[in-house]
Chain A
Amino acid sequence: MPKAAADAKLLIQSLNKAYAATPTNLKIIDLYVLFAVVTALVQVVYMGIVGSFPFNSFLSGVLSCIGTAVLAVCLRIQVNKDNKEFKDLPPERAFADFVLCNLVLHLVIMNFLG
């Protein structure tokens, strides 16, 4: 057990060190993803307290949070300089795709919110 705890500590330290090396724009995207996921969790907890009626509003709220999180992760993948597959993709194009997809997502959400 103590070995496992020491291992875990070493692990977390090295993770922190490696993560600190990522560029700032990626860290901002990560923060946004974290924010979206936390909002989704808050909504789920709220649903657990208050009940799930009207279900379509709950569904659209949670799925919009998860949706923007997923799209932000896709943006992060495309903008990351370490990614060999996307080195020909200008980051502006990636961002434009991200905005377009978000537009469609939120249009659907507005329709489904009820």
Chain B
Amino acid sequence: MAETEADAAAAPSAAPGRLRNAFGGVLCAFTLILIGVLAFSIRLFSVIKYESVIHEFDPYFNYRVTQFLSKNGIYEFWNWFDDRTWYPLGRVIGGTVYPGLTLTAGSIWWLVNALNIPLSVETVCVFTAPIFSAFASWATYLLTKEAKGTGAGLMAAAILGMVPSYISRSVAGSYDNEAVAIFALVFTFYLYVKTLNTGSLFYATLNALSYFYMVCSWGGYTFIINLIPMHVLLCIVTGRYSSRLYIAYAPLVILGTLLAALVPVVGFNAVLTSEHFASFLVFIILHVVAFVSYIKGLLTPRLYKMAMTLVITVGMAVCFAVVAILVALVASSPTKGWSGRSLSLLDPTYASKYIPIIASVSEHQPPTWPSYFMDINVLAFLVPAGIISCFLPLSDASSFMVLYLVTAVYFSGVMVRLMLVLAPAACILSGIALSSAFDVLTRSMKFQLSKLFDDGSAISGNGSTEATSASAVNTNSSKSENKTEKSEAAPKEKSSKKNRRKEKEVTESVPAKSKKEKRLSVLPLEASVIGTLLLIILGGFYVVHCVWAAAEAYSAPSIVLTSRSREGLHVFDDFREAYAWLSHNTDVDDKVASWWDYGYQTTAMANRTVIVDNNTWNNTHIATVGTAMSSPEKAAWEIFDSLDVKYVLVVFGGLVGYPSDDINKFLWMVRIGGGEFPHIKEPDYLRDGQYRVDAQATPTMLNCLMYKLCYYRFVETDGKGFDRVRGYEIGKKHFKLTHFEEVFTTHHWMVRIYKLKPQKNRVRAKLRKLKSGSKSSSTLAAGRKKNPWQ
């Protein structure tokens, strides 16, 4: 009888339960769509403020590669040898580029054009990043849902859609690897955690494929292949080994290594470099643990102990031998098998000692404290709350989150550019923290309000509604009385074991859970209302900051500059002016030399062959250009002539106050050049350890090519030669160029192009007569000085 009554009671409240279920699902989907739209639109500021143009330097290379792919097809792209860069060495594009981004944009372009929507390659490239950031926030939702539930997922997705650190690398126009790589990173982590939670081999396969996409997209894939083994090791060490762990990790290692070896950039590095050794080591350890647990299941405890002692004595010897061989192999390579970039991550001082090129990139400097607040804002102090919330209770997924966050924080402290890897971790943990906080506060409010309306009678259902959802039917009065007693006696801090469910979402195993929970913490009504309001205001501050950062700080395309003056907005389009001049006024095969920063833009926009570009893979070649820029005119002319250079391009900001010009970068040219050619010494260019270009500057500085090319005729602008960036008058004001001639200077003097003067047809007779006596010795001396770069 009781059963049918319960059933009868169950049926009518199951129907509203299902309806509530459905309503919750629809609301969730709608919220996700809105989050996607938000993530897309907040990145469109640069398109609105400037134009739909590709930003910065690296995206121009990716854009050029995508153009080539769309024009010539995938086989040509795979085998492309680019001879218009790194003259005369060339560059194997197919083997040195991470193809994920270009293939993604190329396929989107192809698909869209096949559907007869005529979007150009540039439009597709500009808008790839915002689209993939919407996907990334959905992936964050999925990942956080695996760890903590739907409410936390929605919160984390909303936060990720707006976090300034991610916006900075994925605005519309920033067509760089990170645009798709962050999506691949979060999605791979989601599939790993899902496999860990469900133990399904299907998700393990998907995980390996998603890891493959990540390897295609970004060099930061080594983070995944080191973080996941670390997590597996953590699970084993804390006694959480289970067969699901084996299914989650072992297929990923094998399939993942194979797939990584398929990408030409990685190739055999997937098995030979130290970055991957951790995964193999943990693979072996996992098999040992799995085998041990299997044997444990077969034997009785006494026999098991016997087996253990036997195995350990034998196993130790074998292990020792294997480790000795491995250590010998690794120690024989000078960098212990790690690549330069990874070493500079592990030892932050490595790059400045050995590889000045890596140290010179501004993105590779350690971040300052304010940049944490600028880039992840409010999340910086929500994250510790999230860590605590992850421990109540600790599951495999939440331990993974904490580990991800801790490693990301370390790496973000080494390089500013890796704040980007910290962003998803911070968003997830903040989402968890905020959602747990809201959970307690709203539960308190609901409970207190219902207590007010029911006048504390022993009627069941309402008192415990916050502990159940509509599908929970078995509310017997004794249980509810129990609960009200306990909750009134609960302490006023939100530290006890929390209820994971939210009011809006309906979850499955409700009745069992409500029996298991011990205490629900409930706050007084005023405290919970004020708490909710304050949290909402905090969220408001976060949103305001994010929108401001997206609009003002991170939307500059850096190829077009603007400044506000009394007359309004002033636009500096000098870069594109210079590249257009180059493409219209020079021959197709002319070589242009400049510092490596501008290489990608020159090949993409001016379509001319360059000597060095942003790929910086050949340090000696860059050092040659740096030496030429630091040498006097004649020596520089000879270096450039040996490289077949016709035009030299320098960037000069002294007239308008543009601070990132070549004079400010000049010391790096000296350092890098001096690293390869010892006759360039940095102290020669400094007066008393200070870098100056005014009258106090050293003669070496005042005679070097960079100074001359930047300040040639500069005194004609205002009569005094006042450099607006450095803030003083320049040293040498009136001089002529003997080996170069100026061919173009842009409107604001920001880009200056010079042509190498052809060699004189005859040497002047006067010089020959003077030197006829000592000609042999002087030419010998000149000869020794002439080729210092050999």
Contact = CB atoms under 8 A, between A and B. Distances in A.
B246 A101 contact: no
Given A70-B254, A73-B250, A105-B254, A14 B300 contact: yes
B320 interface: no
Given A104-B209, A112-B258, A86 B199 contact: yes
Contacts of B202: 97, 100-101
B200 A108 contact: no
A11 B209 contact: no
Contact of B303 (A11, A73, A100): A11
B259 A85 contact: no
Given A14-B299, A77-B243, A108-B258, A101 B204 contact: yes
B244 A85 contact: yes
A44 interface: no
Contact of B199 (A4, A8, A70, A85): A85
Interface string A49-90: 000000110011001001100110111011000110110010
Given A7-B310, A18-B299, A63 B257 contact: yes
Interface in B355-379: none
B473 interface: no
Contacts of A14: 299-300, 303
B255 interface: yes
Nearest to A94: B201
A14 B303 CA distance: 8
Nearest to B295: A15
Nearest to A71: B251
Contacts of B204: 74, 101
Nearest to A105: B255
A32 B7 CA distance: 50
Interface in A1-53: 4, 7-8, 10-11, 14-15, 18-19
A8 B250 CA distance: 30
A100 B199 CA distance: 15
B242 A85 contact: yes
B564 to A, nearest CB: 56
B305 to A, nearest CB: 10
B107 interface: no
Most A CB within 10 A of own CB, among B201, B242, B310:
B201
Nearest to A97: B201
Say whether chain B's binding surface is mostly helix, strand, loop, or mixed. Answer: helix
Interface string B574-615: 000000000000000000000000000000000000000000
Contacts of A55: 268
Interface in B296-337: 297-300, 303, 306-307, 310
Given A11-B303, A15-B299, A59-B261, A97 B254 contact: no
Contacts of A98: 201
B254 A78 contact: no
B303 A77 contact: no
A56 to B, nearest CB: 7
B250 A70 contact: yes
Contacts of A71: 201, 251
Nearest to A68: B254
A74 B299 contact: no
A108 B306 contact: no
Contacts of B250: 70, 73-74
Contacts of B247: 74, 77-78
A56 B307 CA distance: 39
Given A7-B306, A15-B299, A100-B202, A56 B246 contact: no
B214 interface: no
B208 interface: yes
B255 A78 contact: no
B205 interface: yes
B245 to A, nearest CB: 11
B262 interface: yes
B38 interface: no
Interface in B639-697: none
Nearest to A64: B258
B551 interface: no
Interface string B251-279: 10011011101100000100100000000
B106 to A, nearest CB: 20
Contacts of A82: 297
B228 to A, nearest CB: 15
A18 to B, nearest CB: 4
6 contacts: A11-B310, A14-B300, A78-B199, A97-B201, A104-B209, A112-B258
Given A11-B310, A74-B251, 12 more contacts: A10-B306, A14-B300, A15-B299, A19-B298, A59-B271, A67-B258, A70-B251, A74-B204, A77-B243, A77-B247, A104-B209, A108-B262
Instruction: For the complex of A and B, list the 10 residue pairs with the smallest distance between their C-beta atoms, beginning with the closest.
Output: A97-B201, A18-B298, A67-B254, A77-B243, A70-B250, A101-B205, A97-B202, A74-B247, A108-B258, A7-B306
